[in-house]
């Protein structure tokens, strides 16, 4: 993101509200964002749209630091938003800055 833009750290809920290896959806004016929690309790947020056919990534299977889209099984990196494996280079989902403070999930929104 551009350093001139102010981002709002927005509290979207308690960290424990997202189960391990799962995701929850956050509705925003820019469209839905998916908040993920991995097996290792790392949290990530990306737009809830697969770059392939727009599938809801929040409904996929979380594995490692990746999410398998429920529609056609593309694997998307939660760190970069890039498609992985055989579909690498074919598309990218925008990521959203996220931090967990005092047990709360904060999303960095413009």
Partner 1 sequence: MTQCKAQDKERLVVIGAGMAGGRIVEEILKRDEQRFEISIIGAENCATYDRIQLSPVLAGEKVFDDIVTHSQEWYDANAIKTHFGYWVQSIDTVAKSITLHDGLVIGYDKLILAMGSDPIRLPLPGADLAGVVAFRDLHDVDLMQKAAENGGEAVVIGGGLLGLEAAYGLAKRGMKATVIHLVDVLMERQLDEAAGRLLEKALAERGVGSILNAQSEAILGETHVEGLKLKDGRIIPATLLVQAVGIRPHVEPAKSSGLTVERGIVVDDQMRTSDPDIFAVGECVQHRGQCYGLVAPIWDMCRTLADVLTGKNPNAEYHGSNLATRLKVSGVDLYSAGQFAGGEGCEDIVFRDPGRGVYKRIVIKDDKLVGTVLFGEAGDGGWYFDLMKKGESVADIRDTLIFGQAVTHALAGQDPSDAVAAWPDDTEVCGCNGVSKGQVVAAITAGNDTLDKVRSCSKASASCGSCTGIVESLLKCTLGDKFKAQTGPKPMCKCTEHGHSHVRQAIVEQKLSNIPDVMQALKWTTPDGCSSCRPALNYYLLCAWPKQYKDDPRSRFVNERNHANIQKDGTYSVVPRMWGGITSAKELRAIADVVDKYDVPMVKVTGGQRLDLFGIKKQDLPAVWADLNAAGMVSGHAYAKALRTVKTCVGSEWCRFGTQDSTGLGVKLEQATWGSYMPHKFKMAVSGCPRNCAEATIKDFGVVCVDSGYELHVAGNAGIHVRVTDLLTKVATEEEALEWSMAYVQLYREDAWYLERTAPWVERVGLQFVKDGLATPEQRAALVARFLESQEVYQVDPWAEHAPKSEPAKVFSPLADLRDGVTQDHLTTTQEPAE
Interface residues with partner 1 (CB under 8 A) are 1-3, 5-13, 17-22, 24-29, 32, 35, 38-40, 53-56, 59-64, 68, 70-71, 73, 75, 97, 104-105, 108-109
- The residue among 40 and 89 lying less far from partner 1, judged by its C-beta, is 40
Strands 33-37 and 43-47: antiparallel
Q: Closer to partner 1 at the Cβ: 38 or 77?
A: 38
Find the shortest distance in angstroms from Cβ 106 to partner 1. 8
Q: Which of 5, 10, 13 is nearest to 108 (CA)?
A: 10
- Nearest-Å Rg of the Cα atoms of the chain is 13
Q: Which residues contact 61 (CB under 8 A, 6 or more apart)?
A: 21, 67, 68, 70
Report strand pairing: 95-96 vs 75-77. Answer: unpaired
- Choose among 56, 35, 46, 29: nearest CA to 105: 35
Which residue, 14 or 90, has its beta carbon nearer to partner 1?
Answer: 14
Min dist CB 50 to partner 1, Å, is 10
Nearer to partner 1, 20 or 90 (CB): 20
Least CB distance to partner 1 at residue 23 (A): 9
């Amino acid at each position: 993101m551009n350093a001139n833009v102010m981002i709002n750290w927005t509290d979207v809920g308690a960290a424990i509200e997202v189960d391990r290896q799962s995701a929850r959806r956050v509705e925003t004016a820019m469209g839905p964002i998916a908040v993920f929690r991995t097996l290792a309790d790392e949290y990530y947020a990306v737009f809830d749209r697969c770059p392939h056919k727009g599938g809801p990534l929040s409904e996929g299977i979380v594995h490692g630091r990746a999410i398998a889209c429920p529609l056609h099984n593309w694997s998307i990196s939660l760190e970069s938003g890039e498609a992985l494996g055989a579909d690498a280079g074919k598309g990218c989902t925008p990521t959203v800055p996220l931090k967990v403070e005092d047990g709360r999930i904060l999303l960095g929104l413009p």
